[in-house]
């Protein structure tokens, strides 16, 4: 069975990506995974006080993402006859989506086109453009 | 304050500096006299006269013991440590938690401070170029002590209901010693450690840093005749306000910015030293010769070879803090199931601090010969003079490095002191607040004092921490060995394997 992985953030284009993926999943019988990746790097520099509370901070970041990003995204899928699984993970968004896809059979990644701020896109490149470069599975970008 | 009152303040500030100096110096001298009790050999004022501070022997014996007892992990485990930092063994589930890299860099930014710049200059000025050799050796041995204390730090850390993690010698001394049937002794050692940690945090982690940063600021603005010379007290006040903004005011942006800049600063500093070395390239072979000859056959150094060894060992120990127990507090926040992993990672800390950064400083001042200059007090000014050989503005670069190193070390050490205070007073927020205020006041003291009393006080407090810490390490040596060897076996058998990502 094939799987559709939809990467979401707060943007409206990522809502459209969820709707697109949900419709596709309902029509094809593929499983739907709704994922939000919290940008994080193991190589960033931190203070000792931050480290002390890191586990607690991680838990509250995950809870906030679940409530503010995942739940609204899941609400979008209500119109379609599909029950998505969800997940919130820390890491580099493009890399995490790809490694998730690599672990599933016939995976297909769906993301919205805009998400990051313009400045971030200029400095680091956007998640979709990075995805297109590194993905080993098909990627659909929703405008 | 109005501009009209400025001249009065100028006049008064010299007075304040002297008053603070006069008040603190006798206390500092008294405390360091106890900690630095020395065994003396030979007749005073003869070439064979030598003083051996017992505490330095204490640290080096421990470092040598753990190097042998743990089977030279400082050499054999080096590659494994780098693999751990690179995240090769990290569970993807732990993404978002404190990584090995983060625990290491946090600890390093507390350790890499002015000891690396000013302390090394003191060692080479007093012990000659040969002190470098012994400093590097002490750094390599110190890796083993660091490994021992950081393994325990993670093993006996406390996870609180709110998810926060605290570890360090106070916890492993209390809980680890209780486990092996020395509950009372463990408690006493933990309390002794915590008290000395507060002292060390105010001394080496604060006053020494403020002192040397101020010295460099005064130095690059024209020295004793410059406009800032009578204003040390005020420079100290500015430091205190910046530190206070972070630790009392909770201005995270300052701390975050510093923590992010410091690693780059360290690279820039090493690059600066390399620039000094390359500018004086022709002097390199001679300098290396001086280091080796001076290490075994020094000329004109008080105490001869033993005197050189003591200078090198003492400064290495002060710089990388191996055996002191301080950075075990920072390392223990890491996310890992195996305490030994952080033990391996912590090996890299004395290596980066002493074997790389201290050696750079030392080469710069040996090559340029500024160590033999008796015009200025040994300390950051010696290194500054070496930097000046590249370009007149080069000491400014050093000045920026010094201020940032000092600041980040102060932030890290204020955290260590605060955790020790928290340990003594049951994590009372009030006690921790009082500590933070006292910390800022001592920043001003540090900037105002002359180097002698400050360096003595900071040394003595930091070294006193090692009395309790190393005693505990000896008692818990079997626990450490078991932890590390069982872990190595798991790595060998593939039970703890590289994670495919």
- Decide if pLDDT at B404 tops 70: yes
- All residues of chain B having their beta carbon less than 8 Å from the beta carbon of residue A62 are 96
Kindly state whether residue B1 falls inside one of the protein's structural domains.
no
Query: What is the DSSP secondary-structure string of B299-315?
Result: SS-TTHHHHHHHHHHHH
What CA–CA distance (Å, rounded) separates A63 from A42? 20
What CA–CA distance (Å, rounded) separates B59 from B145? 9
Query: Where does the pLDDT of residue A116 fall: very low under 50, low under 70, confident under 90, or very high at 90 and above?
Result: low
* Stretch B334-346: mean pLDDT: 95
DSSP A138: -
pLDDT at A114: 73
How many independent structural domains does chain B possess? 1
Task: Tell if the CB–CB gap between B164 and A89 is shorter than 8 Å.
Answer: no
Take residue A64 and report the two structure tokens written for it.
Answer: 């906030």
Task: Tell if the CB–CB gap between A56 and B330 is shorter than 8 Å.
Answer: no
Kindly state whether residue B60 falls inside one of the protein's structural domains.
yes
- What CATH number is given to the structural domain containing B126? 1.20.1740.10
Long-range contacts at B388-393 (CB < 8 A, ≥ 24 apart):
B389/B276, B389/B279, B389/B280, B390/B272, B390/B275, B390/B276, B390/B279
Domains contained in chain A, CATH given: 3-142 (3.40.50.620)
Take residue B162 and report the two structure tokens written for it.
Answer: 């709110």
- Look at B19-28, B94-103, B397-406 and tell me which has the smallest mean pLDDT: B19-28
Under 8 Å CB-to-CB from B26, ≥6 apart: which residues?
none
Query: Where does the pLDDT of residue B52 fall: very low under 50, low under 70, confident under 90, or very high at 90 and above?
Result: confident
Residue in B with minimal Cα distance to A40: B96
Is the CB of residue B365 less than 8 Å from the CB of residue B124? yes
Kindly state whether residue B155 falls inside one of the protein's structural domains.
yes
- Decide if pLDDT at A27 tops 90: yes
CB proximity B256 to A under 8 Å: yes
Triad B81, B82, B87: Cα angle to 5°:
100
Kindly state whether residue B498 falls inside one of the protein's structural domains.
no
pLDDT at B220: 83
Instruction: Give the gap in angstroms from C-alpha A23 to the nearest C-alpha of chain B.
Output: 31
Is the CB of residue B213 less than 8 Å from the CB of residue B449? no
Instruction: Give the gap in angstroms from C-alpha B487 to the nearest C-alpha of chain A.
Output: 23
**SS3 call for A140:** strand
Greater confidence, B43 or B476?
A: B476
What CA–CA distance (Å, rounded) separates B178 from B185? 8
pLDDT at B249: 80
Burial class (CB in 10 A: 0-12, 13-18, 19+), B112: buried
CB proximity B336 to A under 8 Å: no
What CA–CA distance (Å, rounded) separates B405 from B266? 8
Query: Where does the pLDDT of residue B6 fall: very low under 50, low under 70, confident under 90, or very high at 90 and above?
Result: very low
Kindly state whether residue B396 falls inside one of the protein's structural domains.
yes
* Stretch B339-368: mean pLDDT: 94
High-pLDDT (> 70) share of chain A, %: 92
Instruction: Give the gap in angstroms from C-alpha A60 to the nearest C-alpha of chain B.
Output: 11
- What domain range includes position B173? 42-493
Residue in A with minimal Cα distance to B101: A43
Looking up tokens 């360091």 gives B32
Take residue A84 and report the two structure tokens written for it.
Answer: 């998505």
Is the CB of residue B315 less than 8 Å from the CB of residue B132? no
- All residues of chain A having their beta carbon less than 8 Å from the beta carbon of residue B92 are 91, 99
Kindly state whether residue B11 falls inside one of the protein's structural domains.
no
Mean residue pLDDT across chain B = 87
Is the CB of residue B365 less than 8 Å from the CB of residue B383? yes
Kindly state whether residue B17 falls inside one of the protein's structural domains.
no
Kindly state whether residue B6 falls inside one of the protein's structural domains.
no
What CA–CA distance (Å, rounded) separates B19 from B24? 9
């Amino acid at each position: 069975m094939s799987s559709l992985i939809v990467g979401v953030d707060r943007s409206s284009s990522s809502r459209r990506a969820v709707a697109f993926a949900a419709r596709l999943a309902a029509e094809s019988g593929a499983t739907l995974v709704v994922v939000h990746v919290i940008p994080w790097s193991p190589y960033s520099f931190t203070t000792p006080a931050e480290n002390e509370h890191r586990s607690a901070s991680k838990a509250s970041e995950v809870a906030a993402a679940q409530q503010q990003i995942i739940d609204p995204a899941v609400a979008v899928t209500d119109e379609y006859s599909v029950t998505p699984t969800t997940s919130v993970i820390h890491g580099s968004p493009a890399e995490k989506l790809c490694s998730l896809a690599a672990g599933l059979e016939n995976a297909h990644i769906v993301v919205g086109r805009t998400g990051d701020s313009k400045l971030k896109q200029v400095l680091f490149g956007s998640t979709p453009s990075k995805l297109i470069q590194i993905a080993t599975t098909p990627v659909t970008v929703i405008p | 304050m109005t501009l009209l009152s400025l001249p009065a303040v100028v006049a008064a500030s010299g007075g304040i500096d002297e008053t603070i100096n006069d008040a603190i110096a006798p206390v500092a001298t008294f405390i360091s006299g106890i900690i630095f009790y020395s065994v003396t050999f030979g007749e005073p004022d003869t070439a064979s006269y030598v003083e051996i501070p017992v505490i330095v022997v204490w640290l080096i014996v421990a470092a040598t013991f753990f190097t042998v007892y743990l089977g030279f992990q400082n050499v054999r485990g080096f590659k494994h440590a780098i693999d751990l930092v690179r995240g090769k063994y990290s569970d993807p589930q732990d993404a978002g938690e404190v990584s090995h890299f983060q625990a290491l860099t946090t600890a390093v930014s507390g350790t890499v401070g002015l000891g690396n710049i000013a302390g090394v200059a003191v060692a080479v000025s007093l012990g000659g170029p040969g002190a470098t050799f012994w400093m590097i050796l002490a750094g390599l041995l110190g890796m083993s002590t660091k490994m021992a204390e950081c393994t325990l730090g993670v093993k006996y850390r406390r996870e609180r209901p709110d998810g926060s993690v605290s570890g360090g010698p106070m916890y492993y001394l209390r809980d680890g010693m209780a486990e092996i049937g020395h509950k009372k002794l463990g408690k006493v050692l933990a309390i002794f450690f915590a008290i000395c940690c507060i002292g060390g945090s105010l001394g080496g982690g604060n006053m020494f840093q403020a002192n040397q940063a101020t010295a460099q600021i005064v130095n690059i603005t024209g020295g004793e005749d410059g406009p800032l010379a009578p204003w040390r007290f005020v420079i100290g006040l500015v430091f205190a306000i910046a530190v206070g903004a972070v630790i009392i005011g909770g201005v995270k942006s300052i701390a975050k910015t510093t923590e992010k800049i410091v690693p780059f600063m360290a690279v820039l500093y090493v690059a600066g030293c390399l620039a000094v070395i390359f500018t004086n390239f022709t002097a390199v072979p001679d300098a290396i010769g001086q280091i080796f000859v001076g290490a075994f056959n020094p000329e004109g150094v008080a105490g001869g070879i033993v005197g050189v060894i003591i200078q090198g060992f003492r400064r290495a120990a002060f710089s990388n803090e191996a055996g002191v127990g301080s950075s075990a507090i920072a390392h223990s926040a890491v996310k890992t199931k195996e305490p030994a992993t952080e033990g391996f990672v912590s090996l890299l800390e004395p290596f980066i601090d002493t074997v790389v950064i201290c050696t750079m400083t030392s080469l710069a001042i040996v090559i340029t010969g500024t160590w033999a200059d008796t015009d200025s007090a040994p300390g950051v000014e010696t290194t500054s003079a070496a930097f000046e050989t590249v370009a007149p503005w080069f000491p400014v670069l050093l000045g920026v490095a010094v201020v940032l190193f000092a600041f980040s070390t102060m932030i890290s050490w204020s955290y260590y002191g605060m955790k020790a205070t928290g340990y003594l007073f049951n994590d009372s927020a009030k006690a921790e607040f009082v500590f933070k205020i006292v910390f800022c006041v001592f920043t001003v003291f540090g900037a105002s004092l002359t180097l002698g009393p400050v360096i003595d006080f900071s040394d003595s407090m930091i070294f006193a921490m090692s009395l309790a810490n190393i005693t505990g390490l000896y008692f818990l040596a079997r626990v450490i060995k078991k932890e590390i060897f069982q872990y190595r076996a798991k790595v060998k058998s593939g039970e703890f394997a590289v994670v495919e990502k």
